[in-house]
């Protein structure tokens, strides 16, 4: 009995120490929100990494970790090629969705899990930048990257790909196809539209942001109209696309501009042309970035990886595995993309600062308007 009492005492003390220890340790989590008045894209004062030929040689034999979101698939053999060229081994670390990946990076800012992150997008960008998650580095390919994608001039994040979140519809379902976002609220398309909850789905968030970009302060009225026009809301892309859209219960869905291309590639039996098409009006442009995580032990090898990720070779590989478009202007699109990808000439966007400042208010208003 005495022994057990002693043990119990020990455990209680140990757990109290363990629980209170971290609150006075150095691992503090920066508060977000206080800094929201200033732009997250302003000059950060962090020291930029410089890559010299001499430094490159020193990175030989290093092993670095590339942190990616769960849906990312590495094109076959690309990192083996990187290893052949540089002598650096790349391990891929998978997290969960983009929001979780960024939150984890904020939590571990300064003592990161990996060395380079792939795939943070413009909707979560400020959360990371406000917490100094990345160190600036402008790759040798900087001038080849599309100007309009370079949101951070100092290079803390480097655009690596982009994609448009667009409405998709079945081509054979309508005698007069929908052409604008306004059509969704008309009686012709009543009960035809399914989209996703912006708090649980990236395309859902993209579509909410499109409506805000298009209608400004009147976005709430548009959603009220959508609701009376019987819009269906699902928690994720898969449920909306495969449950409602595939069964043709709903013939318009929020998806990506590249979805019809995937419909062509993964069709079984093969088809002549994609059975679906996109509405090119009011698509939301999602930009994905890569960046070197602050606190990495291998800044040089990391910088070389960023060079590689933005190189023409890698950029030409990602469309077919991840259905996104290259950020490097010199990268050529695969043949199927050239044939079937519809051009989106005027995709809409909202600045990362506005998204960061208003995201919670918007989603809460949306929940009240649409779900309650």
Partner 1 sequence: MTGTYKTTALAFLSLLAFYLIFFFYPIGKILAIGLSFSSFEQAFTSVSIRKALWFTIWQATVSSALSVAIGLCISSVFVKSNFRFKRFLESLTFIPFVMPTVVVASAFISVNELLRLDNSPLNLQGSALGIIVAHIFFNTSIVVRTLTSTWPMIDFESEQAAQTLGANRIQIFFQITLPQLKSGLISAGSLSFLFTFTSFGVILILGGLGKATIETEIWRYATQRTEFETAAVLGIIQLLVVVAMLTINNKFLTTDSRNSNLLSKARYSHPVSKFRKSANTIFILGFFGFPFLVLLERSLRTPAGYSFAYYKQLLWENSAERFAIFGARKAIFNSLIWGALAMLIATVLGLIAAYLLTNKSKALSQFSGVFLMLPLGASGVLLGFGILISLNRGFFDFRSEWWIVPLAQGLLGVGIVARLSSNAIKKIDPTIRHAASTLGASSVTIWRRIDFPIITKAVIAGSAFSFALAIGEFGATSFLVRPQRPTIPTTIFNLLGRPGSSTFGQAMALSVILAVITWLVVSLLDRTGSLSSNDF
Phi-psi region of 39 (alpha: psi -120 to 50; beta: other; left: phi over 0): beta
Segments in the chain forming alpha helices (H)? 2-20, 53-58, 78-86, 98-107, 125-130, 202-215, 219-228, 237-238, 259-265, 299-309, 312-322, 335-340, 352-366
Mark the segment that binds partner 1 (CB under 8 A) among 43-51, 55-63, 94-102, 217-225: 94-102
Among 157, 107, 162, CA closest to 292: 157
The one among 13, 91, 179, 190 contacting partner 1 by CB under 8 A: 91
Of 18 and 176, which CB lies nearer to partner 1 in the complex structure?
Answer: 18
Encoded one letter per residue, x for contact with partner 1 by CB under 8 A and - for no contact, window 179-218 reads: ------------------x-xx------------------
330: contact with partner 1 by CB under 8 A? no
The footprint of partner 1 on residues 225-244 (CB under 8 A) is: 233-239, 241-243
104: contact with partner 1 by CB under 8 A? yes
Of 19 and 176, which CB lies nearer to partner 1 in the complex structure?
Answer: 19
Of 138 and 294, which CB lies nearer to partner 1 in the complex structure?
Answer: 294
Least distance CB 182 / partner 1 (angstroms): 25
225, 235, 298, 345 from 117: Cα distances, Å = 40, 26, 13, 29
Residue 292 forms beta bridges with which residues? 116, 135
111: contact with partner 1 by CB under 8 A? yes
Least distance CB 255 / partner 1 (angstroms): 7
Mark the segment that binds partner 1 (CB under 8 A) among 45-53, 56-64, 95-103, 337-345: 95-103
15: contact with partner 1 by CB under 8 A? yes
Residue 230, number of CB atoms within 10 A of its CB: 12
Of 86 and 131, which CB lies nearer to partner 1 in the complex structure?
Answer: 131
How many angstroms separate the CA atoms of 44 and 75, rounded?
33
Least distance CB 52 / partner 1 (angstroms): 30
How many angstroms separate the CA atoms of 145 and 328, rounded?
4
Angle between helices 78-86 and 299-309 (to 10 degrees): 130
Least distance CB 266 / partner 1 (angstroms): 3
Least distance CB 302 / partner 1 (angstroms): 16
Contact 127, 357 (CB under 8 A): no
369: contact with partner 1 by CB under 8 A? no
The one among 35, 39, 55, 97 contacting partner 1 by CB under 8 A: 97
The footprint of partner 1 on residues 265-294 (CB under 8 A) is: 265-269, 276
How many angstroms separate the CA atoms of 265 and 322, rounded?
13
The footprint of partner 1 on residues 19-48 (CB under 8 A) is: 19-23, 27, 29, 32
252: contact with partner 1 by CB under 8 A? no
Least distance CB 6 / partner 1 (angstroms): 10
Least distance CB 147 / partner 1 (angstroms): 29
Among 359, 69, 40, CA closest to 204: 359
For 70-126, give the secondary structure using H, E and C: CCCCCCCCHHHHHHHHHCCEEEEEECCCHHHHHHHHHHCCCCCCCCEEEEEECCCHH
Residue 165 forms beta bridges with which residues? 256, 284
Least distance CB 79 / partner 1 (angstroms): 10
The one among 118, 120, 127, 327 contacting partner 1 by CB under 8 A: 127
For 336-366, give the secondary structure using H, E and C: HHHHHCCCCCCCECCCHHHHHHHHHHHHHHH
Residues that bind partner 1 (rule: CB under 8 A) add up to a total of 80
71: contact with partner 1 by CB under 8 A? yes
């Amino acid at each position: 009995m005495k022994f057990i009492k002693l043990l119990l005492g020990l455990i209680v003390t140990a757990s109290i120490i363990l629980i209170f220890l971290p609150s006075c340790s150095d691992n503090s989590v920066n508060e977000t929100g206080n800094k929201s008045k200033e732009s997250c894209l302003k000059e950060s004062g962090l020291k930029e990494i410089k890559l010299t030929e001499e430094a490159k040689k020193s990175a030989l034999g290093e092993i670095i970790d590339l942190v990616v979101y769960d849906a990312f698939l590495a094109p076959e053999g690309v990192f083996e090629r990187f290893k052949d060229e540089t002598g650096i081994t790349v391990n891929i670390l998978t997290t969960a969705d983009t929001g979780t990946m960024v939150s984890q990076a904020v939590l571990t800012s300064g003592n990161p899990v990996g060395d380079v992150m792939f795939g943070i997008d413009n909707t979560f960008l400020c959360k990371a930048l406000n917490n100094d998650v990345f160190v600036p580095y402008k790759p040798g390919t900087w001038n080849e990257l599309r100007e309009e994608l370079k949101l951070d001039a100092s290079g803390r994040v480097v655009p690596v790909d982009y994609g448009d979140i667009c409405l998709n519809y079945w081509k054979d379902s309508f005698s007069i196809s929908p052409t604008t976002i306004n059509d969704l609220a008309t009686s012709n398309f009543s009960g035809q539209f399914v989209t996703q909850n912006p708090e649980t789905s990236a395309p859902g968030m993209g579509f909410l942001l499109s409506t805000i970009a298009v209608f400004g302060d009147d976005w709430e009225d548009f959603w009220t109209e959508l609701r009376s026009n019987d819009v269906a809301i699902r928690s994720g892309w898969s449920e909306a696309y495969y449950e409602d859209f595939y069964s043709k219960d709903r013939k318009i869905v929020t998806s990506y501009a590249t979805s019809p291309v995937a419909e062509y590639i993964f069709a079984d039996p093969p088809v002549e042309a994609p059975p679906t098409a996109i509405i090119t009006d009011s698509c939301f442009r999602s930009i994905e970035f890569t960046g070197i995580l602050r606190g990495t032990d291998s800044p040089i090898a990391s910088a070389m990886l960023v060079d590689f990720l933005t190189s023409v070779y890698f950029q030409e590989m990602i469309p077919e595995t991840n259905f996104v478009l290259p950020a490097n202007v010199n990268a050529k699109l695969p043949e199927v993309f050239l044939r079937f990808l519809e051009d989106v000439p005027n995709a809409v966007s909202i600045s990362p600062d506005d998204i960061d400042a208003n995201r919670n208010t918007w989603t809460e208003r949306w929940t009240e308007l649409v779900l309650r």
